[in-house]
């Protein structure tokens, strides 16, 4: 399986979108400060993830969520209580 996941930084209240074939390992790397892009934004929490059978689908979804329209969509869909 291939996964797209969304984290929120409790420090700066911003989202991080990533992908991985091993979701549990990757989330643990984020939480332990081993990922350059999130290590200064700890702590982070997993908000949600999506599973895909094909790598191409996962990459297309990740690319969309990282786009301007994707970020707007995330903000709209996720409740204010997650951000506060």
Run of H or E residues at 76: helix 68-77
- pLDDT by residue (tens digit) across 41-80? 999 999 999 999 999 999 999 999 999 999 999 888 876 5
Whichever domain contains 49, its CATH number is 3.40.1440
* Cβ–Cβ < 8 Å for 53, 1: yes
- What global pTM score does this model have? 0.89
Per-residue pLDDT band for 84 (boundaries 50, 70, 90) equals: low
Tally of structural domains, the chain: 1
Residue 71 in tokens: 């970020």
Report the mean per-residue pLDDT for the chain.
Answer: 92
Range of the domain at 30: 2-83
* Cβ–Cβ < 8 Å for 17, 59: no
User: Strand, coil or helix: what is 59?
Assistant: helix
| CB-neighbour burial class of residue 18 (10 A; exposed 0-12, middle 13-18, buried 19+) | buried
């Amino acid at each position: 399986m291939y996964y797209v996941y969304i984290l929120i930084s409790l420090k700066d209240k911003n989202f991080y979108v990533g992908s991985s074939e091993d979701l549990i390992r990757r989330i643990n790397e984020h939480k332990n400060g081993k990922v350059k892009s999130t290590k200064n934004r700890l702590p982070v929490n997993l908000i949600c993830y999506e599973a895909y059978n094909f790598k191409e689908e996962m990459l297309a979804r990740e690319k969309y969520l990282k786009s301007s329209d994707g970020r707007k969509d995330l903000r709209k869909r996720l409740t204010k209580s997650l951000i506060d």
